[in-house]
């Protein structure tokens, strides 16, 4: 197992030693943490500029100042306390064997050699000597090489949120600037917004939207905001942050079975639920102002989370510089695009993967393509800032927002253009009826007012992160004719 580096090893030891029992530490001692102790571990990890560490730059005055503010010395006996806080390798192996002997339910039959998608399943009695002690995961059922995992932080040092509180739109308008980015999820008439200024510190929100259990996730290292159904079969899962990374992407774990899940794909990668894949839910990053305009009765996640964090601040300053090498990524890079250029990414129902470079989409504003016989349109609007640019998110660069929809409405194929009468650039018109449309695919005026285009599951990734999990991806830089 390749470890993050001396600085984060010290942070890990500090978190383990300082928290006699904490959600920041392995589950064996994970029940009695105070939020302040978890803050100590996470802020020390997150405030370290990951891009500077990746480039091994340690001499700038800004880094020196940040380090001086955040560093705390690890106790001399941290290693000893860490060993005492976690089960031994033998105990971890015994736990795995006991679970196996008990025949805990698995998603697939225990003699299955491949997932339903055809991915080979590795079955053995292996338990990693380092991270294995922190999880009761069934390591002997997996679809990845354990050596592909890296430790980015202690388990639960980045605390997931469960059943968040919300603000009304009036309350939210006094708290959030119009340009700040949020993840919007709508199920039926239930519209929710999750500011990235909060998600960047927690990465997972377990919620229930319109009666459906949903996980809203954000991996800042890959710039991926994805939402999933939390129910697998009859079981509703509660997700948390494992502290592990694969291809720099967030590895989640569910607290029900301690199966490990890849955020970028929604797949169970290690544990008894291997073979399962979470059902994605349409989710896009838009500005608070856009969400407020479209859904005045919507709810916005409150910064009153029960944790003390610097909400609204970005601990990954300048991390979205396109040419810079990604943090904790040791794989190959596809040089067709800069590694951290944003792409609008799609996996079609038939398994094709497609990426649309952000600069191409933002220049065109309206892009057409065809996915599995479905003719789609991509919209781009200005007014949404990056969450990974400046130290204060609200002061960051305007990168805009995208969304993808099926162009067919009630059997009629529509064509679109940017609305020439809208100087703000927030709306579009269809060429067939002249109706006005917004970034949420809603007709807000004209003959088709009240209509809704069907959203296509899509996401915003850094190129390296999308390609790492989808190496057969086609890059599209030309729009089909309308």
pLDDT for res 37: 36
- The closest of 198, 466, 476, 179 to 340, measured between CA atoms, is 466
d(CA 132, CA 126): 9
pLDDT for res 91: 53
- Pairing of β 235-236 and β 239-246: unpaired
* Distance from chain centroid for Cα 152: 15
Mean per-residue pLDDT pooled into runs of 10, the chain (482 residues): 37 34 32 36 40 38 35 36 46 52 75 96 93 94 96 96 97 98 97 98 98 98 98 96 98 97 98 97 98 98 97 97 93 96 96 97 98 96 98 98 98 97 97 98 98 97 98 97 90
pLDDT for res 313: 98
Question: How far, CA to CA in Å, does 10 sit from each of 76, 77, 265, 295?
Answer: 10, 11, 31, 46
* Distance from chain centroid for Cα 473: 20
* Residue 324 tokens, joined: 């810079």
pLDDT for res 124: 94
pLDDT for res 82: 40
pLDDT for res 472: 96
d(CA 24, CA 18): 10
Helix H or strand E encompassing 358? helix 358-364
Is 346:458 a contact under the CB 8 Å cutoff? yes
pLDDT for res 94: 55
d(CA 167, CA 149): 37
Q: What is the side-by-side strand order in the sheet with 459-462?
A: 459-462, 342-347, 353-357, 474-475
Helix H or strand E encompassing 293? helix 288-294
Distant-in-sequence, close-in-space partners of 200: CB < 8 Å, separation ≥ 6: 218, 220, 314, 315, 316, 387, 393
pLDDT for res 81: 39
């Amino acid at each position: 197992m390749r470890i993050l580096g001396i600085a984060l090893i010290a942070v890990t030891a500090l978190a383990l030693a300082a928290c006699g029992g904490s959600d920041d530490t392995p589950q064996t001692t994970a029940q009695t943490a105070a939020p302040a102790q978890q803050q100590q571990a996470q802020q020390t990890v997150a405030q370290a500029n990951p891009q500077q560490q990746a480039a091994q730059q340690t001499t700038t005055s800004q880094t020196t100042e940040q380090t001086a503010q955040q560093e705390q010395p690890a106790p001399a006996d941290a290693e000893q306390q860490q060993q005492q806080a976690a089960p031994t390798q033998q105990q971890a192996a015994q736990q795995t064997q006991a679970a196996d002997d008990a025949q805990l339910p698995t998603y697939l039959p225990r003699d299955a050699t491949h997932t339903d998608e055809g991915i080979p399943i590795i079955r053995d009695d292996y338990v990693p000597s380092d991270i294995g002690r922190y999880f009761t995961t069934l390591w002997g059922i997996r679809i990845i090489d354990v050596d592909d995992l890296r430790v980015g932080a202690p388990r639960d040092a980045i605390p997931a949120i469960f059943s968040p509180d919300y603000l009304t739109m009036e309350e939210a308008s006094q708290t959030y600037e119009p340009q700040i980015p949020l993840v919007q999820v709508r199920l039926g008439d239930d519209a929710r917004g999750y500011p990235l200024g909060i998600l960047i510190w927690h990465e997972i929100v377990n919620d229930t939207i319109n009666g459906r259990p949903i996980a809203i996730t954000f991996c800042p290292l890959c710039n991926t905001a994805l939402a999933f159904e939390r129910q697998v079969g009859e079981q509703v899962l509660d997700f948390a942050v494992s502290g592990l990374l694969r291809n720099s992407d967030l590895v989640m774990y569910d607290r029900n079975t301690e199966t490990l899940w890849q955020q970028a794909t929604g797949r169970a990668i290690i544990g008894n639920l291997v073979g399962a894949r979470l059902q994605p839910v349409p989710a896009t990053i838009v500005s608070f102002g856009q969400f407020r305009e479209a859904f005045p009765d919507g709810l916005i996640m409150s910064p009153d989370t029960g944790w003390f964090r610097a909400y609204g601040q970005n601990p990954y300053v300048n991390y979205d510089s396109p040419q810079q090498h990604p943090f904790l990524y040791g794989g190959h890079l596809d040089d067709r695009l800069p590694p951290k250029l944003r792409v609008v990414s799609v996996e079609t129902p038939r398994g094709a993967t497609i990426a649309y470079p952000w600069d191409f989409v933002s220049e065109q504003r309206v892009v057409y393509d065809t996915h599995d016989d479905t003719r789609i349109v991509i919209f781009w609007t200005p007014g949404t800032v990056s969450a990974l640019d400046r130290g204060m998110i609200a002061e960051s660069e305007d990168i805009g927002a995208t969304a993808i929809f099926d162009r067919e409405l009630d059997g009629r194929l529509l064509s679109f253009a940017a609305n020439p009468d809208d100087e703000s650039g927030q709306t579009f018109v269809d060429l067939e009826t002249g109706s006005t449309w917004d970034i949420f695919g809603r007709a807000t005026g004209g003959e088709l007012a009240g209509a809704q285009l069907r959203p296509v599951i899509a996401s915003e990734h850094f190129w390296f992160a999308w390609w790492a999990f989808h190496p057969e991806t086609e890059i599209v830089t030309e729009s089909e004719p309308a």
